[in-house]
Structure 1
Amino acid sequence: MGGFIFVPLLVVGFFILLAGFFTVKQQTAAIVERFGKFQSIRHSGLQLKIPLVDRIAGRINLKIQQLDVIVETKTKDDVFVRLKISVQFQVLEQKVYDAFYKLQNPHDQVTSYVFDVVRAEVPKMKLDDVFERKDDVAIAVKAELNEAMSTYGYDIIKTLVTDIDPDIQVKAAMNRINAAEREKVAAEFEAEAERIKIVAKARAEAESKRLQGQGIADQRREIARGLEESVDVLNNVGINSQEASALIVVTQHYDTLQSIGEATNTNLILLPNSPQAGSDMLNNMIASFVASNQIGEEMKKKNIEKGIVPKKKPKRQAPPRAEEGEDLNY
C-alpha cells in the first residue's frame, strides 16, 4: 500500500523540480517575483527558480523596436496634413526594472509624446517648409521622447518622418502649380529657341541680300567696263561715240531676244520685234540723252548767274613731254 502512494509522490516531486528550471531567449530579460515581490532579473540561458515560490512575472524584449505613429495636424497656412513618424526605441539592459514596473503601456506613451511634439512644431511651418524641414520635426520629436522615456528605461535610437501626405485637394493643387511652372519654363525655352531661329534667319537673309547686291554691283560694273571697252574699240576703227552706242544697243537688243528664245519652260513675254524696233529704241535713248544734257546745261547756267556754282577754270595743260633727243629748254 505504501508503495502505491510513494510512486505518485515521486512523480509529483519530479514535475515540481522540473518546474524550477526555465530558459530565457537571447536579447530578452525575464522578471522573477517571489510571492508577488520583485526578486531578480534573469538574462539569456538556462535559469533556476524555487518551484511554487518564485514565478516569472514577465519578459522584456531588449531588441530595437519600431513604432509607426500617424499624426494629422494643420500647418501655418491652414493646410491639413498627415505625417507618419517612425520611432525606433530600445529598453536599456540596466533599466529593465524601470521599463517593466514604471510603465504600463510604452507604445501608448510614445504615441502621446509624438502627437504632442508634432502638433506643437508643424503649426509653426508652412506646407512647403514641412517638406523642407522634416528633419527638424524628427529632431524635435527625438529630443522630447529621450527626455521623457529615459525615466522609464527606454532609449530613443532614431525618429524619422517617413511620409507627409497633404489633403487630396491640396495635393492636386500643388501638382497643378508644379505643372504650370514647368510649362512656363518650357514656354520660355521654346520662345528663346524661336528667337534664336528668327535672328539667325534674319542674319542669313541680310547676308544674302548683301551678297546679292554686291553681285549686282559687280555685274553692272563689269557691264559698264565692257561697254567702255566696246566704245573704245569702235572709236579706234573710225566709228564715233553716237554710232558706237547705237550699234551696242541694237546688238544687246537682239542678244536679249535670242537668249529668251533659247530658254525653256519660260512664261510668255511680248516684246516689240518690228524691223524698226532697234532704231526706235536707239532714237528714244538719244533723245533722252540730248534732253537730259540740255536740262543740265540750263541748270548750270542759272546756278552760275545766281552765284551758286562758280565757273570752272580752264584746265591747265600739262607740259609737253620731252621726246628722245629733244631739248625742251628755251
Structure 2
Amino acid sequence: MGSILFYFLIFLGVIILFTGIFTVKQQTAIIIERFGKYLSTRNSGLHFKIPLIDRIAGKITLKIQQLDVIVETKTKDDVFVRLKISVQFQVIKNKVYDAFYRLENPHDQITSYVFDVVRAEVPKMKLDDVFERKDDIAIAVKSELNEAMLNYGYDIIKTLVTDIDPDLQVKEAMNRINAAEREKIAAEYEAEAERIKIVAKARAEAESKRLQGQGIADQRREIARGLEESVDVLNNVGINSQEASALIVVTQHYDTLQSIGEETNSNLILLPNSPQAGSDMLNNMIASFTASNQIGEEIKKQNAKKGIINKKKNGDSSNE
C-alpha cells in the first residue's frame, strides 16, 4: 500500500513539474496571471510557472500584422467610391500589458478609426483628386491611427490605399472619356503626319518641276547652239542663212519620220509629212518673223513720234 502511494506521489509530481514548464516562441509574448491577477509577461524562451496557481492568460504576437479595411464613401462631386485601406501594425514590445488588457479587439478599433478618417477626408475631394492624392489619404489615416493606437500599445507601421473602385457606371464613363481623349490625340497625330506627307510631296513635285524646267531650258539652249553651229558650217561652204535653215528643217523633219518608223508599236502620225512640208513650215516661220519685225518697227516709229510731240508741248508750256 505504501509503495503504491509512493509511486502515485512521484507520478503526480512529474505531472505538476511538466505543467509548470513551458516555452514561448520567437516574436511572441505570454501573459501570466496568478489567481486572476496580472503577474508577468514572458518573452521567447523556456519558462516556469507554479502549477495550479499561475496560468497562461493569453499570448500576443509581436510580428507585423496587416488589416485590410474596405470603406465606401462619397466624393465631393457626388460619386460613390470604395477604397481598400491596408494597415500594417505591430504590438510594442514594452507595452504588451496595454495591448492585452486595455483593448479587447484591436481589429475593430483600427477599422473604426479608418472609417472615420476616410469619410472625413474623401468627401473634400473630387474623384480625380482621390486618385491623385491617395498618398495624402494614407498619411491622414496613419497619423490619426498612430495617435489613437499608441495609448493601447500598438504602433502603426504603414497605411496604404491599395485600391480605389468607383461605381461601375462611373468607371465605364471614365473609360469612354479616356478612350475619346486618346482617339482625339491619335487623330491629331494622324492629321499632322498627313500634313507632313502633303508638304513633302508638294516640295518634291516643285523640285521635280524646277529640275524638269531646267532640263528643258538646257535642252533648248543646246539645240539652239547646235543649230547656230550648223548654220555657220553651211555658211562657210557658200550656203546662205535662209537656205541653211531650210536644209536644217528638212533634215529634222526626215529624222523625226525615221525615229517614228523605228517604233513598230507606235500609233503616232506626223502631219503634214509630205516632202514639201519642211519647206512650207520654214516659209511660214520666216513670214511670221518678218511680219513680227515689221510690226515692231512700226510701233517704235509711232512711239518716237509721240515722244517728239510731248517734248514740244512741254517746251511751249515752259516758255509761257
Corresponding residue for residue 48 of structure 1:
48
| Alpha-carbon distance in 1 for matches of 2:276, 2:143 | 114
Q: Identify which range, 136-145 or 227-236, moves more after superposition.
A: 227-236
CA deviation string 1:267-310 (max 9, x = no partner): 33242223432332233223222322332232222222222899
Q: Which amino acid aligns with 2:246?
A: A
Contact 2:260 2:268 in 1 (8 A): no
Corresponding residue for residue 318 of structure 2:
none
Q: Which amino acid aligns with 2:116?
A: D
Call closer, same or farther: CA 1:38–1:247 in 2, change over 3 Å: same
Divergent runs of 4+, >6 A: none
| Alpha-carbon distance in 2 for matches of 1:264, 1:44 | 109
Q: Which amino acid aligns with 1:266?
A: S
* Contiguous gaps of at least 5 residues in structure 1: 311-330
CA deviation string 1:113-164 (max 9, x = no partner): 1111111112222222222222211111111111000111111111111222
**Offset, 1:65:** 1.1
Corresponding residue for residue 313 of structure 1:
none
* Contiguous gaps of at least 5 residues in structure 2: 311-320
| Alpha-carbon distance in 1 for matches of 2:195, 2:154 | 66
TM-score normalised according to structure 1 size? 0.85
Identity score, percent: 85
Corresponding residue for residue 123 of structure 1:
123
Please state which structure has a larger fraction of its residues in helix: 2
CA deviation string 1:7-37 (max 9, x = no partner): 5565445434443333322222222222222
Corresponding residue for residue 74 of structure 2:
74
Corresponding residue for residue 183 of structure 1:
183
Q: Identify which range, 272-281 or 301-310, moves more after superposition.
A: 301-310
2:171 corresponds to 1:171:
yes
Secondary structure, in 3 states, of the residue corresponding to 1:307?
helix
Corresponding residue for residue 196 of structure 2:
196
TM-score normalised according to structure 2 size? 0.87
Contact 2:257 2:270 in 1 (8 A): no
Count of aligned pairs between the two proteins: 310
| Alpha-carbon distance in 2 for matches of 1:171, 1:309 | 93
| Alpha-carbon distance in 1 for matches of 2:279, 2:17 | 149
Corresponding residue for residue 64 of structure 1:
64
Contact 1:28 1:59 in 2 (8 A): yes
Call closer, same or farther: CA 1:35–1:268 in 2, change over 3 Å: same
Equivalent residues in 2 for 1:72-221, closer than 5 Å: 72-221=72-221
Secondary structure, in 3 states, of the residue corresponding to 2:50?
coil
Corresponding residue for residue 315 of structure 2:
none
Secondary structure, in 3 states, of the residue corresponding to 2:161?
strand
Secondary structure, in 3 states, of the residue corresponding to 1:83?
strand
Contact 1:81 1:164 in 2 (8 A): yes
| Alpha-carbon distance in 2 for matches of 1:278, 1:47 | 132
Corresponding residue for residue 278 of structure 1:
278
Contact 1:303 1:309 in 2 (8 A): no
Corresponding residue for residue 313 of structure 2:
none
Corresponding residue for residue 244 of structure 2:
244
